[in-house]
C-alpha cells in the first residue's frame, strides 16, 4: 500500500524543500511513493526506477491538467505534442524525433553551435569577462535559429535570447514575475506565427509540395497530420516551432553545469582536454544526472490502475521525482558523488537516468531532444577545454536546490584570456 504523508498539504514544503522534497518525505514514510496533497489537490508522488516505469510506460499517464498553467504556458502549451495522447501523440512525436534527433539534424545543430561559440569568443575576449549563463543562452539562440533556417540579425537574436531565456528562467515562478514572462511568450508567439505564415504563403503561391520542406522551420510549417492529411492549425504550428527552439536554448543551463563540473573536478578537466573523447559522453551524462534541472513531472491517470497493491483511479494526479530518482541511493551507488566513471561501458537503463523523462521517446513522453542535448554538451566540453582560454574569478558558485530551474548563483563568470588553452589557470572560488 502507498503510505500517506502526515502533512495536510505539502505546497509550502515543496517550495521550502525544493529538489529535495521527495527525498525528505520518503525518508520519513519509507518506500518509493507516498500519497499527499499539493495545491489542495490529491497527488501520488513516486521516485525511483519502478515509479518511472509505471509513470512513463504503457500510456498510463497523460498530461492533461498535469501541470500548473503558469508552468504549462511557459514550457509547452495547449495543442502541443506534450498535450496529445495515443495515436495523435505517436504521429506528432515521430515528427519531432525526426526533426531534432536524426543524425544529420544533430550534426547540423552542433556545427551551428560551434560556429556561434567561436564567433562570440572574439567579443568575449575583447570585453574580458563574460557570464556564461547569459553568453551561452545567446550562442544557443543564434545556433538554433541558424539551424532552423530562420534569418536573424543581431537585434533579432537579442530579442529571441531574452524571450527564450526568460521563459525557461521563470517557468518555476508564480504571480507577476510569471505574468511578465507570459507576456514575453506572447511576443515570441507573434514572431513564430509570422514565420509559419510566411513559409506557407510562399509555398502556396508557388504551388510547391510539402515534401519540398528542407529546413526545420519549413518542416514544421508544412507538416501534414498523417491521419487527416491537413497542415497543423497555425496556432499549433506556432507553438511547435517554439517547442523546438526554446528547449534547445535551455541547454544553456547544462552548458553552465558542464563548466562548473570541469571547474570543480580539475583531474577530469585535464583528462578531457587531452583527448579521451570516448569519455566525453560519460561526463555529460554525469552532469545531467548530478545537477538539478526539472525537479518533477506531473501526469494524470488515463484509466483505473493498480500499483504496488494500491488502486490509482482514472484522473488521479501523479508526480514523478526526476531529480530524486537521479539521486536515489536505491538506483545509484554514492549518488552524491560526481563520478562520470559510473557510466563507463554501461548500457543506461531507460528509467534510471531521467533528467529528460523516462520510458522511450517514440512510445511515451520522454524528451525527443535528449540525444541532441548530450551532443551539445559534448561539444561544450570540447569548446571549454580545448578552444576557450579562461579563468574563473571568485564568485558565488553555489547551486540552490530551492530555485527552479537552478544554476550557479552568479551564472558562472569567466575571465577570458589570450594564449593557449593549457596556459589557462582555473582558480577555485571556495
Among 22, 36, 335, 368, binds ligand HEM (CB under 6 A): 368
Do strands 41-46 and 317-321 pair parallel, antiparallel, or not at all (unpaired)?
A: parallel
Judged by DSSP in three states, 298 sits in strand
Query: How many residues bind to ligand HEM according to rule CB under 6 A?
Result: 25
Residue of closest CB approach to ligand HEM: 369
Among residues 216, 350, 369, 371, the one that binds ligand HEM under rule CB under 6 A: 369
Q: How far is the CB of 365 from ligand HEM (least distance, A)?
A: 4
Close Cβ partners of 207 (under 8 Å, ≥ 6 residues apart): none
Quick one: which of 166, 194, 150, 204 has its CA closest to 74? 166
Q: Which residue has the cell 503561391?
A: 205
Taking the alpha carbons at both ends of the chain, their separation in whole angstroms is: 46
In whole angstroms, the minimum distance from the beta carbon of 108 to ligand HEM comes to 13
**Please, what is the minimum distance in Å from the beta carbon of residue 289 to ligand HEM?**
12
Q: What whole-number distance in Å separates Cα of residue 379 and Cα of residue 385?
A: 10
Contact (Cβ atoms closer than 8 angstroms) between residue 73 and residue 185: yes
Decide if 385 contacts 263 (C-beta within 8 A).
no
Q: Judged by CB under 6 A, which of 192, 325, 373, 407 binds ligand HEM?
A: 373
Residue 32 vs 82, nearer CB to ligand HEM:
82
| Region near ligand HEM per CB under 6 A, out of 41-49, 114-122, 245-253, 304-312 | 245-253
Alpha-helical segments (H) within 62-215: 69-75, 86-101, 103-127, 132-148, 154-169, 176-206
> What's the maximum distance between 2 C-alpha atoms anywhere in the chain?
66
Please select the residue that binds ligand HEM; options are 25, 63, 106, 269, rule is CB under 6 A. 63
Q: In this chain, which of 292, 355, 371, 408 binds ligand HEM, going by CB under 6 A?
A: 355
Sole binder of ligand HEM in the list 47, 70, 100, 351 (CB under 6 A): 100
Q: Which residues contact 381 (CB under 8 A, 6 or more apart)?
A: 258, 262, 272, 280, 283, 284
Residue 60 in the binding site for ligand HEM (CB under 6 A) = no
Cβ-based burial of 153 (10 A; exposed 0-12, middle 13-18, buried ≥19): exposed
Closest to ligand HEM by CB, 92 or 416? 92
**Binding residues among 179-198 for ligand HEM as defined by CB under 6 A:** none
Q: Which of 19, 21, 96, 147 binds ligand HEM (CB under 6 A)?
A: 96
> Which three cell numbers mark 221?
510549417
Contact between 254 and ligand HEM per CB under 6 A: yes
Q: Under the criterion CB under 6 A, does residue 390 sit at the interface with ligand HEM?
A: no
Q: Binding segment for ligand HEM among 13-21, 129-137, 243-251, 342-350 (CB under 6 A)?
A: 243-251
142 near ligand HEM (CB under 6 A): no
Distance CA 385, CA 380 (A): 8
Per CB under 6 A, the segment of 41-49, 116-124, 197-205, 362-370 that binds ligand HEM is 362-370
Q: Looking at 255-263, 335-343, 349-357, 411-419, which segment touches ligand HEM (CB under 6 A)? A: 349-357
- What residues numbered 284-343 form the site for ligand HEM, per CB under 6 A? 293-294, 297
Angle at 225 between CA 219 and CA 228, to 5 degrees: 150
Distances 419 to 263, 264, 271, 387, 394 between C-alpha atoms, Å: 19, 23, 20, 10, 21
Asked if residue 412 lies in contact with residue 26, where contact means CB atoms within 8 angstroms, the answer is: no
Cis bond leading into 405, ω under 30°? yes
263 binds ligand HEM (CB under 6 A): no
Is 215 exposed, middle or buried, given 0-12, 13-18 or 19+ CB atoms closer than 10 A? middle
Which three cell numbers mark 312?
Answer: 490509482
CB of 166 closer than 8 Å to CB of 179: no
Binder of ligand HEM out of 108, 143, 221, 244 (CB under 6 A) = 244
Min dist CB 12 to ligand HEM, Å, is 24
Of 13-21, 110-118, 127-135, 352-360, the segment contacting ligand HEM by CB under 6 A is 352-360
| Rounded least distance, CB 226 to ligand HEM, Å | 16
Instruction: List the one residue from 356, 380, 385, 407 that touches ligand HEM (CB under 6 A).
Output: 356
Cβ distance to ligand HEM smaller for residue 256 or 397: 256
Per-residue cell: 310? 494500491
**Residues interacting with ligand HEM, by CB under 6 A?**
63, 81-82, 93, 96, 100, 243-244, 247-248, 250-251, 254, 293-294, 297, 355-357, 365, 367-369, 372-373
Amino acid at each position: 500500500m502507498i503510505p500517506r504523508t502526515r502533512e495536510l498539504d505539502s505546497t509550502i514544503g515543496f517550495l521550502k524543500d525544493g529538489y529535495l522534497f521527495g527525498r525528505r518525505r520518503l525518508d520519513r514514510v519509507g518506500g518509493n511513493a507516498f500519497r499527499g496533497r499539493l495545491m489542495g489537490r490529491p497527488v501520488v508522488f513516486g521516485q525511483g526506477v519502478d515509479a518511472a516505469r509505471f509513470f512513463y510506460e504503457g500510456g498510463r499517464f497523460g498530461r492533461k491538467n498535469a501541470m500548473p498553467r503558469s508552468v504549462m504556458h511557459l514550457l509547452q502549451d495547449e495543442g502541443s505534442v506534450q498535450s496529445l495522447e495515443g495515436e495523435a501523440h505517436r504521429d506528432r512525436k515521430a515528427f519531432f524525433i525526426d526533426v531534432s534527433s536524426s543524425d544529420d539534424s544533430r550534426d547540423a545543430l552542433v556545427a551551428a553551435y560551434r560556429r556561434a561559440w567561436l564567433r562570440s569568443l572574439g567579443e568575449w575576449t575583447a570585453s574580458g569577462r563574460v557570464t556564461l549563463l547569459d553568453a551561452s543562452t545567446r550562442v544557443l539562440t543564434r545556433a538554433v535559429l541558424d539551424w532552423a533556417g530562420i534569418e536573424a540579425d543581431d537585434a533579432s537574436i537579442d530579442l529571441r535570447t531574452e524571450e527564450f531565456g526568460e521563459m525557461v528562467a521563470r517557468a518555476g515562478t508564480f504571480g507577476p514575475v510569471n505574468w511578465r514572462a507570459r507576456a514575453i511568450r506572447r511576443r515570441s508567439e507573434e514572431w513564430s506565427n509570422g514565420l509559419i505564415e510566411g513559409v506557407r504563403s510562399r509555398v502556396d503561391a508557388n504551388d510547391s509540395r510539402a515534401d519540398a520542406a528542407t529546413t526545420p522551420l519549413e518542416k514544421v510549417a508544412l507538416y501534414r497530420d498523417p491521419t487527416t492529411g491537413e497542415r497543423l492549425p497555425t496556432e499549433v504550428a506556432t507553438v511547435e516551432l517554439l517547442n523546438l527552439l526554446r528547449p534547445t536554448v535551455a541547454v544553456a543551463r547544462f552548458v553552465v553545469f558542464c563548466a562548473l563540473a570541469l571547474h570543480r573536478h580539475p583531474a577530469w578537466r585535464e583528462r578531457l582536454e587531452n583527448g579521451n573523447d570516448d569519455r566525453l559522453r560519460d561526463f555529460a551524462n554525469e552532469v545531467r544526472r548530478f545537477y538539478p534541472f526539472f525537479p518533477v513531472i506531473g501526469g494524470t491517470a488515463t484509466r483505473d490502475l493498480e500499483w504496488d497493491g494500491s488502486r490509482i483511479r482514472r484522473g488521479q494526479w501523479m508526480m514523478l521525482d526526476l531529480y530524486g530518482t537521479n539521486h536515489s541511493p536505491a538506483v545509484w551507488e554514492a549518488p552524491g558523488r560526481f563520478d562520470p566513471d559510473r557510466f563507463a561501458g554501461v548500457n543506461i537503463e531507460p528509467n534510471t537516468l531521467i533528467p529528460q523523462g523516462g520510458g522511450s521517446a517514440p512510445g511515451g513522453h520522454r524528451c525527443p531532444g535528449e540525444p541532441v542535448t548530450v551532443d551539445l554538451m559534448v561539444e561544450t566540453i570540447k569548446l571549454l577545454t580545448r578552444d576557450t582560454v579562461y579563468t574563473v574569478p571568485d564568485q558565488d558558485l553555489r547551486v540552490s536546490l530551492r530555485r527552479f530551474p537552478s544554476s550557479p548563483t552568479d551564472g558562472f563568470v569567466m575571465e577570458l584570456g589570450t594564449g593557449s588553452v593549457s596556459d589557462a589557470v582555473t582558480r577555485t572560488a571556495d
